[in-house]
């Protein structure tokens, strides 16, 4: 009987040894061809540890490498994938990654964070599913200034020379994407999907970054499709479809002290549908100074948009500010050209600048926006600005 038991132990030990051998062999093979598949790192339903380990191995490679998440549905807890890496690195996501439903299980303000990486590509046909429906009902940010922020789907912090392509972000609890301190980062064929009632779910928010390109992408969410924070320079948005949401917005600016200038914003060949705003620049009154200049919006189609063209320097959502003093943000060198389509409200163009710092060099050219409801036709309203108007101007008044 003892011999039989000993024989079973030997067989069991051999099986375990062989399994370890297979795991090591597959990992070695992955390393040899530069592909680090999370399934070779013990990935089960929850891939958090497997992804972390695969990333560390790939990041340490002296040759270009790729971390692969194959097709399937996986759970992923809060994770930070950081550099610097020794060579160019890719993360290919072909599966669906699901965040914890409970926002309290995602401390730190984000779900997935990419940091300090140069020569980085995030691609694949996969989805980052924030499972935010439960969290949206918990948000108090519409009522209180000092609310607790819910976690964002993806953060890109201090990323350089990078491409995000063919990826989908779905139902984030907060912003879908936050870009901070990045340089030369492109989003191409990027998709954001969330219902119009999702709270504070900006599609892509950019701040303190240079050389950001958003190309041929589709964004539908419950807040700004794209929002531009302070310190953003050379932002190019081309071929973006936006809606539902709050449009494409520069700002809000002037809410915090020591904000960096915004300059070189180019929005071109976009379509905006069924949103609360179209193309917008906004700043807070009675708070802090700032500068925003060299901003150009051209060849934009509006479909049933409530405020197609708007500069709002009395931005004060939910009465969270004071109107005792005008905005201190200086806005200059702005153009709106070839804006066409339909407005959902009689005021299709509203340029409301600061009485303390009137807007300078604002150009309106070929604005052809129709409104067919009560109080029509479409009109424009301007204050503290003398716009330079040329070509068609269907919305009279400025």
Count of alpha carbons within 13 angstroms of residue 323, beta-carbon side: 8
Which residues span the domain enclosing 10?
A: 1-33
Cβ partners under 8 Å of residue 102, min gap 6: 134
What's the pLDDT at 137? 85
The tally of domains found in the chain comes to 2
Of the candidates 304, 301, 240, which has an alpha carbon nearest to the alpha carbon of residue 276? 304
Share of the chain above pLDDT 70, in %: 89
Q: Is residue 339 part of a domain?
A: yes
* pTM of the model as a whole: 0.91
Same domain, 4 and 149: no
What's the pLDDT at 20? 37
Same domain, 267 and 299: yes
Q: What is the pLDDT of residues 198-215, one digit of tens each?
A: 999 999 999 999 999 999
Same domain, 26 and 44: no
Q: Is residue 398 part of a domain?
A: no
Same domain, 11 and 49: no
**What mean pLDDT do residues 15-42 have?**
61
Same domain, 28 and 47: no
What three-state secondary structure class fits 250? strand
What's the pLDDT at 130? 98
Same domain, 141 and 155: yes
Q: What is the largest CA-CA distance in the chain?
A: 100
Which residue out of 205, 236, 246, 296 is catalytically annotated? 246
Same domain, 233 and 94: yes
Of the candidates 329, 398, 394, 328, which has an alpha carbon nearest to the alpha carbon of residue 362? 398
What's the pLDDT at 4? 39
What's the pLDDT at 143? 63
Catalytic annotation present for 296: no
**What mean pLDDT do residues 315-344 have?**
92
Q: Is residue 168 part of a domain?
A: yes
**What mean pLDDT do residues 365-382 have?**
95
Same domain, 43 and 85: yes
What's the pLDDT at 109? 86
Task: Calculate the average pLDDT of the chain.
Answer: 91
**What mean pLDDT do residues 133-143 have?**
78
Q: Is residue 380 part of a domain?
A: yes
Same domain, 224 and 344: yes
Share of the chain above pLDDT 90, in %: 84
What's the pLDDT at 148? 66
Same domain, 151 and 286: yes
Same domain, 63 and 1: no
Find the range with the poorest average confidence among 1-15, 54-68, 125-139, 270-284. 1-15
Same domain, 223 and 271: yes
Q: Is residue 374 part of a domain?
A: yes
- pLDDT at residue 258 greater than cutoff 50: yes
- pLDDT at residue 10 greater than cutoff 50: no
């Amino acid at each position: 009987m003892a011999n039989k038991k000993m024989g079973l132990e030997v067989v069991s030990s051999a099986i375990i040894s062989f399994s370890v051998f297979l795991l090591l062999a597959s990992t070695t093979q992955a390393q040899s061809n530069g592909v680090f598949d999370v399934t070779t790192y013990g990935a089960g339903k929850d891939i958090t540890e497997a992804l972390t380990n695969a990333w560390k191995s790939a990041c340490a490679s002296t040759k270009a490498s790729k971390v692969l998440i194959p097709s399937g549905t996986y759970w992923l807890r809060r994770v930070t994938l950081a550099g610097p890496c020794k060579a160019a690195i890719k993360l290919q996501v072909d599966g669906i990654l699901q965040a914890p439903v409970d926002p309290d299980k995602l401390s730190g303000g984000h779900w997935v964070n990419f940091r300090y990486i140069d020569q980085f590509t995030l691609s694949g046909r996969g989805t980052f599913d924030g499972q935010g429906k439960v969290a949206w009902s918990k948000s108090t940010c519409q009522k209180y200034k000092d609310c607790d922020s819910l976690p964002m789907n993806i953060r890109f912090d201090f990323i350089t020379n990078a491409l995000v392509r063919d990826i989908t972000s779905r139902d984030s609890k907060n912003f879908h994407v936050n870009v901070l301190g990045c340089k030369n980062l492109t989003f191409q064929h990027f998709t954001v999907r969330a219902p119009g009632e999702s709270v504070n779910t900006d599609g892509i928010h950019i701040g303190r970054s240079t050389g950001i390109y958003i190309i041929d992408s589709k964004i539908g969410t419950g807040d700004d499709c794209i929002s531009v924070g302070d310190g953003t320079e050379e932002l190019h948005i081309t071929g973006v479809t936006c809606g539902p949401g709050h449009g494409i917005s520069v700002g809000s600016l002037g809410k915090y002290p020591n904000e960096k200038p915004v300059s070189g914003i180019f929005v071109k060949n976009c379509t905006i549908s069924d949103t609360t705003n179209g193309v917008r620049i906004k700043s807070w009154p009675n708070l802090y100074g700032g500068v925003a200049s060299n901003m150009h919006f051209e060849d934009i189609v509006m479909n049933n948009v409530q405020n197609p063209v708007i500069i709002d320097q009395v931005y004060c959502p939910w009465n969270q500010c004071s109107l005792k003093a005008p905005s201190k943000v200086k806005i200059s060198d702005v153009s709106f050209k070839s804006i066409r389509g339909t407005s959902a409200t009689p005021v299709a163009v509203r340029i409301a600048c600061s009485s303390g710092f009137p807007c300078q060099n604002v150009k309106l050219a070929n604005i052809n926006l129709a409104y067919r409801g009560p109080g029509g036709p479409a009109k424009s309203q301007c204050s503290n600005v003398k716009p330079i108007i040329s070509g068609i101007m269907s919305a009279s008044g400025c």
